[in-house]
Amino acid sequence: MQVLLTYCEQSQCSHSLVFSLLRHYFYILTDNGFYEMDQDRRSIIFVGGHRKPLTRVSTDAVDKVTLNLADGMSALGYKVHIVSLRPETPSVSGPFLYSYIDASFPGWLKPFIFYIRACMQIRKINARYVHFNVGLPGILSWMTGGRITIRCFHNRPGEYGSNPFFNVYSFLNSLGDRNFSVYLSVSQYVKESVDQQYNRKPSFILYNSVDTKKYVPGKKKKGRIFYSGRVVPEKGVEELILAFSKIRNHKLKLRIAGPYMLYTHSKFSNDIFSIISKDRRIEYLGVLDEKRLIREYQEADIFCYPVKWEECFGVSLLEAQFCGARILTTRRGGIPEIAYGAEYVEPSTESIQEGISRMIGMPSNKQRRIGQDKFSIAAVAAKYDKILQSVRN
């Protein structure tokens, strides 16, 4: 290959298409760590999403659990690299090495430009493993220089919503998903769907983790009911608010935290905020920072999570349990895998109302600490390390 490149240069064809392709191909095979012997087996790259930077201040659940996993791998001695959109205040400290990308392209071009640039950054990093949370980069897997590419599914394959953009995005993700080396699923529920579509590749369950040093029980406020998550129809928030408004107990309080999608569900938003404005016991808190969120979990007597869709994991539900809240939820998707001692209801106004009334009448015993050996950062990282070892060997 080198001889052929030299010949092309000497023949004054350096500007030809043939020479450009040869030079690019040679670059991929040599300078990008294509050969396994040139890659650091104790080094891993975590790639953020194209919509926002991967940072500590993000309130997105996927960002939070991704950084938890990165922390755990760093504690095990891995060199951790973060490839992300450039935040307003770039990180200059901590255990990670950062590579920031500027992708100021409008509309549908942004994800493509971001992941092309991300793959170009990946090629410069001496790491054996690359961890993605979306499928689109799989289309560009040939650009990663022969590294082991890992696709972590936080949703079932193809499950991206009804927005027209997501229909195209979902299709491209499904094309890319076929090109990864390893598949991770955040629950058995997700894994069953992943295995049906990609049964020829290594597939593992890797639960999301919680920082068990931060999320600890606190002093409860009797009658305090809390919901945290996206305020959208599929989460059952409207049914929860209607159910609560029908319970005639002035000592109860319902507090709701999380973003609502006004531009997508305007009628839904108008309906729920109309109910909230008429009942002083209900308060919408907006999007909370982590410190405030933990305090709300700790003060909550009951955490309500009455989702209507097939929830793949439910990070907020797990966080609430570690903070000692009693759980009222539905048997949807992967929830039964992580909801310990929960009170189950149907996602209807009547069923939720009955469930809350039952739990209010029960003794408010502290929720037992759950899953330290299963959901802590250290436990999840240790399992990930074993997965990487099995793939590497």
pLDDT of residue 265: 56
The dihedral region occupied by 211, where left means phi > 0, alpha psi between -120 and 50, and beta the remainder, is: beta
pLDDT at 75 over 90: yes
As a whole number of angstroms, the distance between CA 377 and CA 282 comes to 34
When mean pLDDT is compared over 31-40, 158-167, 308-317, the highest value belongs to 308-317
Summarize the confidence of residues 287-305 as an average pLDDT.
Answer: 95
Phi, psi of 128 (to 5 degrees): -85, -30
Least confident interval from 113-122, 269-278, 381-390: 269-278
Q: Give pLDDT tens digits for 81-109.
A: 999 988 877 765 568 888 898 867 666 77
Q: Give pLDDT tens digits for 117-174.
A: 898 899 899 999 999 998 777 777 777 878 899 999 998 886 654 444 455 666 666 6
Beta bridge partners of 226: 255, 303
pLDDT at 16 over 50: no
> How many C-beta neighbours within 10 Å does residue 140 have?
18
Band the pLDDT of 371: cuts 50, 70, 90. low
Q: What structural domains and CATH numbers belong to the chain?
A: 31-209+377-392 (3.40.50.2000), 224-371 (3.40.50.2000)
Across the chain, the runs of DSSP E, i.e. the strands, are: 43-47, 79-85, 97-101, 129-132, 148-153, 182-185, 203-205, 224-228, 253-257, 282-286, 302-305, 326-329, 343-344
Supply 306's token pair: 């009455």
As a whole number of angstroms, the distance between CA 307 and CA 154 comes to 16
Q: What angle do CA 182, 180, 108 make, to 5 degrees?
A: 135
Supply 238's token pair: 């409207």
pLDDT of residue 160: 52
pLDDT at 20 over 60: no
Q: What is the mean pLDDT of the chain?
A: 82
Phi, psi of 289 (to 5 degrees): -75, 170
As a whole number of angstroms, the distance between CA 303 and CA 253 comes to 12
pLDDT at 199 over 60: yes
What letter represents residue 59's amino acid?
T
As a whole number of angstroms, the distance between CA 71 and CA 73 comes to 6
pLDDT at 28 over 60: no
Q: Give pLDDT tens digits for 4-14.
A: 434 444 444 44
Query: Does the pTM exceed 0.95?
Result: no
Q: Give pLDDT tens digits for 213-256.
A: 999 999 888 899 999 999 988 999 999 999 999 999 989 999 99
As a whole number of angstroms, the distance between CA 70 and CA 83 comes to 12
Summarize the confidence of residues 251-273 as an average pLDDT.
Answer: 80
Band the pLDDT of 211: cuts 50, 70, 90. very high
pLDDT at 200 over 50: yes
pLDDT of residue 214: 93
Band the pLDDT of 40: cuts 50, 70, 90. confident
Least confident interval from 56-70, 102-116, 178-192, 209-223: 102-116
Q: Tell which wins on pLDDT, 156 or 45.
A: 45
Summarize the confidence of residues 28-56 as an average pLDDT.
Answer: 69
Band the pLDDT of 15: cuts 50, 70, 90. very low
Name the H helices within 180-314: 188-197, 237-245, 266-278, 290-299
Phi, psi of 8 (to 5 degrees): -60, -40
Across 69-158, the runs of DSSP E, i.e. the strands, are: 79-85, 97-101, 129-132, 148-153
Q: Are 41 and 33 in contact (CB under 8 A)?
A: no
Q: How far is CA 35 from the centre of its chain?
A: 31
How far apart, in Å, are the Cα atoms of 50 and each of 108, 112, 158, 311, 385?
11, 9, 18, 23, 26
